Chain A
Amino acid sequence: MATRPRRRTAWQARAALLPVLLTGALSLAACSGGSTSTTSPQSSGGTSKTLVMDASFTLKTADPGRNYEPTGLIVGKALYDTLLTFEGSDVTKPLPSLAESYEQSADGKTLTLKLRQGATFSDGSPVTADDVVFSLNRVRDLKGNPSFLLDGVEVAKTDESTVTMTSKTARPELPFILPNPALGILNSKVVKAHGGTADASDKAEQYLNGASAGSGPYELESFNTQSQVVLKANAKYWGAKKPTYTKVVIRNVESATQKLNVQRGDSQVALDLSGDQIKSVGGSFQTLKTASANVVFLLSNQDAAVSKTTSNPKILEAIRKGVDYQGLLELAGEGSVQAPGVIPTMLLGALPADQAVKRDVEGAKAAVAASGVSNPSIKLEYPSDLTLQGLSFQPFAERIQANLKEVGITVELAPAPVATALDNYRNGKEELGLWYWGPDYPDPTDYLAFLPGKLVGLRAGWKAGADKELEAVGDKAATTIGDDTRKQLYTDIQNKLNASGPFIPLIQPSQNIVTAASVTGLAFHPVWTVDVAALGAK
């Protein structure tokens, strides 16, 4: 090492100033950038009002015929009016929207809808029976994600103001399906002009991702599945209640940042906060904690070829009695509830809270002893990268592992990314699985999928004929009309499921929404999360 200069020269002195200058320049630039863009979006005042809503996006398309993701449904609800709708957070009573009334035949196979006169699309043209028939047929025949909603349903125009929906079997759930934003009514002339057809050759998606063709309170200004969706108020909206905000910006922001944005006033609504985050939000904000309609459950495979352990009825009983439901509930945070059955609490036919399964450690130990399996060991599979209402599945899996260890069952955790984990789940290869089910539409019919031989039942290795009595009740429930009878049937089904079915309903995590004090009219809806047009300002 050679000698180094000790003498402080002029250039050394100047160089020493560099960090000071640099820091100064950077902070100056930061300030200038900040001051211009932190003006509150609402301060533009007067006639124009902007609402900024932060959400963790699950969004693929703005085309109603293909739309089935949570964020997509928020957008769809604002752009496309449907024949029927729900008010607030209620999902038990379908109300008129583009149809002013509906009537279901006694056998449940025919639904007659009377269309409202005077409803118009955003371009001013009237909503006709032809638009309705085109839109609904398109959803069914596109073979996209929401096609199943209208599976086996024929839509026909009876006259200019009447549409009839018929099916070979009774469809008591149809009035509860029609409010789904995927069944929004499209301006058929516009859509056809842009390649729209009512079959799989349809090419209108690109167009519908750039512009809307609906009769809803908003129109699409810009759409990006990764960053943001901008809605502008439909100036020609036909409905009595005009939207309050002239512009709505829905941004893709992860939940940690969502909270800071809303607290700072950069956004007015934060949709996906976890129970922990919402605790410390502070007084001047409105917080809404509502049990979501997502039911987290365990499935215990009944196929002996997949597992001799979990298909043992005594082991199944031990798992059901061994899980600490209250502990899981605390883990999920305030606002969450224990799922009393597979049907979430807000739907018709949900079990009352006091009929939920309770922990019974001694009973569980006895069941393990009676099972004849020594040192039972089970592999628990679950999606590791999935968050549900801001919650990760990992802590729940660990808690279940600890719970079952207490009763003498060893649980080996097998997390996998959702894209991989879904495969085993879907193919019914999981020994023990931790998953959730959200309603496709808010009607208990959707939950018949949990019965033997049906979609979810098969994932638990529960083949048709495994429980003939239960299946018979299920078949009856599927075709029965009349709320009281249906309620009774679904209560019966869930009690049977809770007694011996392979599913163990755990919790419904809370959907936590924070809004600025200025936002009014917020309600959590199980299908479309938030109705943007119902939000007001004070």
Chain B
Amino acid sequence: MRHPLARFLLRRIAVAVLLGLGITLVTFVLTNLVPGDPVTANLGQRALGDPAIVAQFRAEHGLDKSLPVQYLTYLGGLVQGDLGMSQQSHRPVLDDLAEFVPSTIELAGGAILISLVAGVAFGVIAALRRDRLSDQVLRVLSLVGISVPTFWLALVAFYVFFFRLQITPGSGRIAPDMNAPPGVTGLYTLDAALAGQWDVFASAVGHLLTPALVLAAYTIGLLTRFTRSAVLEVLGQDYVRAARAKGLPGRVILFRYVLRSALVPIITVAGLAFGSLLSGTVLVESVFARPGIGQYAYKSATTLDLPAVMGVGLVVGCVYVLINLVVDILYGVIDPRVRLA
């Protein structure tokens, strides 16, 4: 336990557990404060007229117990890895999450990858070619990316690429006449590649590209702007000028001197942006009909499906914790002056 990294990780995990507890408590209390009854949201009009059916529904979902008991029962299950039963899908929440989370990981992961590569590259180019045409164009584009609403962009992208240009496939995660690849990770791209089903792989990648690009639009714009200003600031530093005077090759100056120092603010912004990426998935998944956690969250919330809402809350909380952890570790890797402890 002397190692600073171990101590750091341990502290982070403890915080994550507390955070998870907080998330469940807040979601539980808030959902119960909403005027509305899961019974009304889930049973049909006629079934609602039958007290026996209503009583049975309440008993089945533990809604007949007092609120503190309901919460403690939930926590008791949680400790054993049981997230309860979803009222809308009639399945364990854990099964639902296991099915929908990989789809969203694929989407958000794709978006993160695209925005890191494109955002940093565009930002560097804009900084190096400051005030020239390419800089102006990139700055306008990044502004567009930041300000255009995701929902609109998703609809337009679907219309243009799928319907007009006919270069991308339609709704879903793979072509409707294909079977899902054997489930190992739940990520269709990876599973298809592992199974060597290259037609399924191509279909999965094709179905992933447009939604990932749309989801990345905002973060690309954001990263472009931040990278540009960070790089510009570093470019003006004396040590960069010294390096250039020494006659070091441009590649070395860019990657070892400029980018390395510029990366700290870039990573801070990227971490924040990726955390909020999940909220964009609701809209993108809905337009591209990708069954993911965003759609699941929306449906659960509108049907007051408490176990599902709490399950999604926990997943989102974990993602935040994880991203922050990665960002903090990266700080230390990039800048040795930063100490984890």
Contact residues of A with B, CB < 8 Å? 1-5, 9-12, 15-16, 18-19, 22, 26-27, 29-34, 36-39, 41, 44, 50, 52, 54, 60-61, 66, 68, 143-148, 151, 200, 205-206, 209, 224-228, 247, 249, 251-254, 256-257, 260-261, 263-264, 266-267, 385, 417-420, 422-423, 426, 437, 440, 455
CB contact between A31 and one of B122, B130, B167, B296 (< 8 Å): that residue: B167
- CB–CB A33/B206 < 8 A: yes
Give the chain A neighbours of B34 by CB distance below 8 A: 419-420
The CA-CA distance from A510 to B175 in the complex, in Å, is 31
- 9-residue interface stretch from B1-9, B41-49, B319-327: B41-49
B:144-182 near A, CB below 8 Å: 155, 158-159, 161-163, 166-178
The CA-CA distance from A144 to B42 in the complex, in Å, is 11
The 10 closest A-B pairs by CB, nearest first: A33-B206, A11-B250, A2-B236, A227-B291, A266-B170, A37-B175, A420-B36, A419-B41, A37-B203, A41-B177
- In the complex, B91 has a CB within 8 A of chain A: yes
Give the chain B neighbours of A264 by CB distance below 8 A: 162-163, 166, 170
- CB–CB A257/B302 < 8 A: no
Known: A4-B235, A41-B176, A226-B96. 4 other contacts (CB 8 A): A4-B236, A29-B206, A423-B40, A440-B46
The CA-CA distance from A37 to B203 in the complex, in Å, is 5
CB contact between A36 and one of B202, B287, B299 (< 8 Å): that residue: B202
Contact residues of B with A, CB < 8 Å? 34-38, 40-50, 52-53, 56, 88-91, 96, 99-100, 114, 117-118, 121-122, 124-125, 128-130, 134, 138, 155, 158-159, 161-163, 166-178, 199, 202-203, 205-210, 213, 232, 235-238, 241, 244, 249-251, 253-254, 286-289, 291, 295-296, 299, 302-304
A278 to chain B, nearest CB (A): 16
CB contact between A34 and one of B91, B138, B169 (< 8 Å): that residue: B169
Give the chain A neighbours of B170 by CB distance below 8 A: 38, 257, 260-261, 264, 266-267
- CB–CB B121/A251 < 8 A: no
Give the chain A neighbours of B38 by CB distance below 8 A: 419
- CB–CB B128/A15 < 8 A: yes
The CA-CA distance from A16 to B44 in the complex, in Å, is 61
- CB–CB A22/B235 < 8 A: no
CB contact between A22 and one of B37, B48, B117, B303 (< 8 Å): that residue: B117
The CA-CA distance from A29 to B204 in the complex, in Å, is 11
- CB–CB A144/B172 < 8 A: no
B173 to chain A, nearest CB (A): 8
Give the chain B neighbours of A61 by CB distance below 8 A: 90
Please, which residue of chain A has its CB at the minimum distance from the CB of B137?
A19
With known contacts A148-B47, A209-B90, A385-B302, A226–B171 Cβ distance under 8 A: no
The CA-CA distance from A260 to B173 in the complex, in Å, is 17
- CB–CB A15/B47 < 8 A: no
- CB–CB A256/B155 < 8 A: yes
Please, which residue of chain A has its CB at the minimum distance from the CB of B255?
A11
With known contacts A12-B250, A29-B205, A426–B40 Cβ distance under 8 A: yes
The CA-CA distance from A246 to B288 in the complex, in Å, is 26
- CB–CB B121/A19 < 8 A: yes
Please, which residue of chain B has its CB at the minimum distance from the CB of A3?
B236
Give the chain A neighbours of B52 by CB distance below 8 A: 143
